[in-house]
Amino acid sequence: MSWRHPGRGGALLYGALAAAAGGVVASVARLEAARQVGRRSVARQLPTGPLIVVANHTSYADGVLLAIACRDLGRSLRLLATAGVFRNPLLGPVVRRLGFIPVHRGSASAAEALDAAAQALAAGEAVGLFPEGRITRDPEHWPERSKTGAVRLALRTGAPILPIAMHGVQEVVGLRGNLLRTLRNVALPPEVKVLVGEAIDVRSLVGAGAPVDEAAVRRASDEVMGRLIDLVEELRGTEALHEFGVPRAEDA
């Protein structure tokens, strides 16, 4: 799978859609990016150059909200999204034009998405993905233990990983009952909080000269997810029960 740069036309389309989506979101939610956490000031702009943005996944609206938040912070994300979106006759041509990358989950070609993401990073782009690989199944909306794709991509390209936590998106679009939810949100918009963490050099995390085997990739993935969960804890004001994410059935 190859990645095609959106070009000027794609950039203009991205800007127009981000503005339109921002207007729609503003009618049903209050998006707020934290500027200060304790004594630590939060960056008002995302880093330049190749960047892998990872976020927790609680809602079907996460991709839109993450893209809007990153756009407000100066970067246009090239999101990895489920291939079903690309098969939609209306959405498919649009997301391709925006430089988004399809992920064929559970198939032999799923790894091809990382090839396309690596090409986007080589072009200096910011790539966004949800390391859990799906919306969390946890009833309290805590992140699940991550897959290893983000770390593999970082080790392959040298791009840093930037964790961004979001909380409250599940109140905008949930897994069910969204008609009543939308009506309620128009009357009383919920607050969606966003917190940007510090960039992670995964190669340094693994260790210079250290063998990069499956165990090392797994440890690094847990460490990255742990830092993302730390940010979620700050937004929620409570501690997660699982340091590296809620265990999945396949982890047992």
- Let me know: does 163 contact 231? Beta carbons within 8 Å: yes
Measured distance CA(148)–CA(133) in Å, rounded? 10
Measured distance CA(58)–CA(62) in Å, rounded? 7
Which CATH number applies to 7-251: 1.20.120, 1.10.357, 3.40.190, 3.40.1130? Answer: 3.40.1130
Where are the chain's structural domains?
Answer: 7-251
Q: What predicted TM-score, i.e. pTM, was given to this entire model?
A: 0.91
Structure confidence at residue 78 (pLDDT): 97
Structure confidence at residue 216 (pLDDT): 93
Q: What is the mean pLDDT of residues 20-47?
A: 76
Structure confidence at residue 129 (pLDDT): 97
Other CB atoms closer than 10 Å to residue 73's CB: what's the count? Answer: 19
Between 110 and 167, residue with greater pLDDT: 167
- In angstroms, the Cα distances linking 164 to 129, 183, 252 are 11, 28, 27
Q: What is the mean pLDDT of residues 37-45?
A: 65
- In angstroms, the Cα distances linking 208 to 50, 132, 175, 205 are 20, 27, 43, 8
User: Which band of pLDDT confidence, cut at 50, 70 and 90, is reported for residue 234?
Assistant: very high
Other CB atoms closer than 10 Å to residue 202's CB: what's the count? Answer: 26
- Let me know: does 112 contact 1? Beta carbons within 8 Å: yes
Which of 8-22, 38-52, 125-139 comes out lowest in average pLDDT? 38-52
pLDDT digits (tens, 9 = 90+) for 157-196: 999 999 999 999 888 876 655 666 676 777 777 888 999 9
Torsion of CA 49, 83, 95, 46, to 10 degrees: -30
pLDDT digits (tens, 9 = 90+) for 200-230: 999 998 887 777 899 999 999 999 999 999 9
Residue 103 pLDDT exceeds 60: yes
Phi, psi of 162 (to 5 degrees): -115, 110
Structure confidence at residue 26 (pLDDT): 84
Measured distance CA(112)–CA(124) in Å, rounded? 19
